[in-house]
């Protein structure tokens, strides 16, 4: 279809030429003789007003479509934004099977994907319920951190929720225009099964259930079913680690190449380097397999971004104290 468009456009233009009595330089139509529309192009018609107006309209539409298709290939500038400060945690608590005695530094982040197609996407929403979770140091509400790079909460077009733990979903009500994307099975577990007998509620805040349902009743919730699904041009989601019932991670067509926002499907670089699972997953083996798969999905494993590792902030070019740009040539 796209190959045919230049010829089609020229042919329409030749018809418009006869309508408007203009001269078109050269035989542009013959240049595009591969199109099937040569006959239409060569036709000398009289002024047929309704049809001619439709042609002008179609010409405008085709030209706009063609050049918008050429002008973008859906790439994204990617930023990591830390909305809490850094905390030390023993390695043994984040990597099952590790014999290390030292500590590792963690924080909590959201990720901004700024597309050349006009989409301004947030991966995860952070949290706002500081009364329930007062132990995070140096907390700043995620929408306030976004303002450091001139993004207002209303600007967010899409919000991809990797999983419904409080520090990833609690801020969804901060972004009024965003379409929320979440795995269907994770949604159902979160709003129902988790709270029933034998359900797992670790990391879940029941107040977030009502926020999510509100998004649904506003028509701003899209449930995704399955693995390797392109939900937005240049954005593909994957499942497999089962950090929650059906947590997902995001493969982004980034400016530096394929980039994975792993969120909690990899907590720390340590987990990725040692291929050790975290203690919170329904499937430890699946968690490790998901990390191995992530390595295969990108050409540069530096472009796999873990969910809670403060190293992210020193590894990539700094934008502000809390924000880095995820791109190659990192340290």
Residue 262 has phi, psi (to 5 degrees) of: -80, -25
Is 166 in contact with 194 (CB distance < 8 Å)? Answer: no
* CB 84, min distance to Zn ion, A: 14
By rule CB under 5 A, what string of x and - marks binding of each residue 299-318 to Zn ion? Answer: --------------------
For Zn ion, the closer of residues 249 and 316 by Cβ is 249
For Zn ion, the closer of residues 105 and 116 by Cβ is 105
For Zn ion, the closer of residues 19 and 104 by Cβ is 104
For Zn ion, the closer of residues 15 and 124 by Cβ is 124
* CB 280, min distance to Zn ion, A: 7
Number of residues that bind Zn ion (CB under 5 A): 2
Strand partners, 110: 81
**H helix or E strand, kind and range, residue 179:** strand 179-183
* CB 267, min distance to Zn ion, A: 8
* CB 187, min distance to Zn ion, A: 15
What is the secondary structure of 62-105 as a DSSP string? HHHHHHHHHH----EEEEEEE-S--EEEEGGGTSTT----SEEE
CA atoms within 13 A on the CB side of 235: 26
Residue 9 has phi, psi (to 5 degrees) of: -65, -45
Site for Zn ion in 237-276 (CB under 5 A): 264
By rule CB under 5 A, what string of x and - marks binding of each residue 147-186 to Zn ion? Answer: ------------------x---------------------
* CB 166, min distance to Zn ion, A: 9
Taking CA atoms, 200 is separated from 94, 185, 224, 246, in Å, by: 19, 14, 22, 13
* CB 103, min distance to Zn ion, A: 20
Site for Zn ion in 120-139 (CB under 5 A): none
For Zn ion, the closer of residues 15 and 264 by Cβ is 264
C-alpha torsion angle, residues 145, 182, 224, 293 (rounded to 10): 70
Is 208 in contact with 158 (CB distance < 8 Å)? Answer: no
Measured in whole angstroms, the distance separating CA 62 from the mean position of its chain's CA atoms is 29
For Zn ion, the closer of residues 11 and 278 by Cβ is 278
Query: Which residues sit at the interface with Zn ion, rule CB under 5 A?
Result: 165, 264
């Amino acid at each position: 279809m796209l190959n045919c468009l230049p010829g089609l456009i020229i042919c329409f233009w030749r018809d418009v030429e006869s309508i408007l009595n203009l001269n078109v330089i050269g035989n542009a139509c013959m240049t595009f003789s591969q199109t099937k529309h040569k006959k239409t192009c060569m036709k000398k018609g009289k002024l047929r007003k309704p049809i001619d107006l439709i042609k002008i309209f179609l010409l405008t539409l085709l030209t706009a479509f063609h050049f918008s298709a050429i002008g973008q290939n859906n790439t994204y500038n990617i930023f990591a934004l830390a909305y809490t400060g850094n905390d030390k945690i023993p390695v043994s608590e984040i990597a099952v099977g590790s014999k290390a005695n030292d500590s590792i530094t963690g924080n909590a982040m959201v990720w901004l994907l700024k597309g050349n197609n006009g989409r301004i996407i947030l991966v995860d929403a952070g949290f706002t319920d500081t009364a329930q979770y007062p132990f995070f140091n140096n907390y700043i509400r995620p929408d306030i951190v976004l303002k450091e790079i001139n993004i207002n909460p209303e600007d967010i077009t899409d919000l991809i929720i990797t999983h419904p733990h409080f520090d990833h979903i609690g801020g969804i009500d901060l972004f009024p225009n965003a379409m929320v994307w979440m795995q269907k099975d994770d949604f159902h577990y979160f709003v129902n099964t988790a709270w029933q007998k034998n359900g797992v509620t670790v990391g879940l805040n029941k107040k977030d259930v009502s926020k999510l349902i509100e998004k649904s009743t506003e028509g701003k919730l899209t449930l995704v079913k399955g693995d390797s699904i392109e939900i937005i041009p240049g954005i593909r989601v994957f499942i497999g680690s089962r950090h929650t019932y059906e947590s997902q991670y995001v493969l982004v067509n980034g400016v530096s190449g394929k980039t994975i926002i792993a969120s909690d499907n990899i907590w720390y670089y340590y987990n990725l380097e040692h291929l050790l699972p975290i203690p919170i997953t329904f499937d430890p083996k699946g968690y490790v397999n998901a990390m191995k798969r992530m390595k295969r999905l990108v050409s540069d494993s530096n472009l796999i971004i873990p969910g809670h590792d403060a190293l992210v902030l020193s590894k990539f070019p700094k934008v502000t104290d809390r924000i880095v740009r995820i791109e190659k040539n990192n340290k």
